[in-house]
């Protein structure tokens, strides 16, 4: 009995040592805010100057990381998927294809009530009504000249307002709220 107890304890200790010796998995994705500040806020003033930002970009590029965090990763995936001519950039037509594919995925995610992977006539009508309402709200808020279209400048203003509002209309660290983000989809789901 004593031998079994000693053997059991030895096995537990050996297992603990093996687990403790296992190398920690490196963090995937962008660094945390604290890690980023520690590494790149070289003057320690709590903000990232333009020079520090440029240094961070260069460091991340040299390490094979893509600057831009999640947005940079999304951008890279879009290029990989839709860059038909392989030049590393999206042309106007490639960008149009990417936007249409994203729109279709978003519609399926939010309006495919029966879960069959396709939108039937009723689901399509609901999706179209949602998009029409969203477009009307965007025009109401950002169509400064009232011509029923968003000019390049008006579109830029809309993008800045949405960026300020943060992801999914949540208040971001920069402030903002759901204002200008369009109507909420049915069933309390968020638009992508």
Q: What is the pLDDT of residues 67-77, one digit of tens each?
A: 556 667 777 88
**Contact indicator for 155, 143 with CB cutoff of 8 Å:** no
Model confidence at 169: pLDDT above 60: no
Residue with tokens 């094979």: 64
pLDDT by residue (tens digit) across 89-114? 889 999 999 989 988 998 999 999 99
Residue 48 is predicted with a pLDDT of 84
Q: Which two tokens stand for residue 26?
A: 């490196």
Please state the pTM of the whole predicted model. 0.45
pLDDT by residue (tens digit) across 108-147? 999 999 999 999 999 999 999 999 999 999 999 999 999 9
**Contact indicator for 76, 30 with CB cutoff of 8 Å:** no
User: 44-48, 121-125, 172-176: lowest mean pLDDT where?
Assistant: 172-176
- The C-alpha angle 92, 93, 95, rounded to 5 degrees, equals 65
Q: Which two tokens stand for residue 44?
A: 């320690």
Model confidence at 174: pLDDT above 60: no
Mean pLDDT of the chain: 76
Beta bridge partners of 175: 172
State the CB neighbour count (10 A cutoff) for residue 151: 13
Helix (H/G/I), strand (E/B), else coil: 32: coil
Distance CA 39, CA 30 (A): 13
């Amino acid at each position: 009995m004593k031998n079994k107890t000693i053997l059991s304890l030895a096995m537990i200790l050996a297992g603990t040592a093996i687990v403790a010796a296992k190398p920690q998995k490196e963090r995937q994705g962008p660094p945390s805010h604290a890690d980023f500040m520690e590494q790149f806020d070289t003057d320690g003033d709590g903000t990232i100057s333009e020079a520090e930002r440029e240094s961070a970009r260069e460091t991340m590029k040299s390490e094979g990381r893509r600057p831009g965090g999640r947005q940079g990763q999304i951008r890279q995936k879009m290029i990989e998927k839709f860059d038909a001519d392989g030049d590393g950039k999206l042309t106007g037509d490639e960008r149009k294809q990417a936007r249409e594919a994203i729109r279709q995925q978003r519609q399926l995610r939010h309006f495919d009530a029966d879960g069959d992977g396709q939108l039937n006539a009723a689901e399509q009508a609901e999706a179209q009504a949602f998009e029409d309402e969203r477009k009307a709200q965007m025009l109401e808020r950002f169509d400064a000249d009232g011509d029923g279209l968003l000019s390049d400048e008006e579109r830029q203003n809309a993008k800045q307002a949405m960026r300020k509002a943060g992801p999914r209309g949540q208040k971001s660290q920069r402030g903002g709220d759901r204002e200008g983000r369009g109507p909420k989809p049915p069933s309390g789901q968020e638009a992508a």
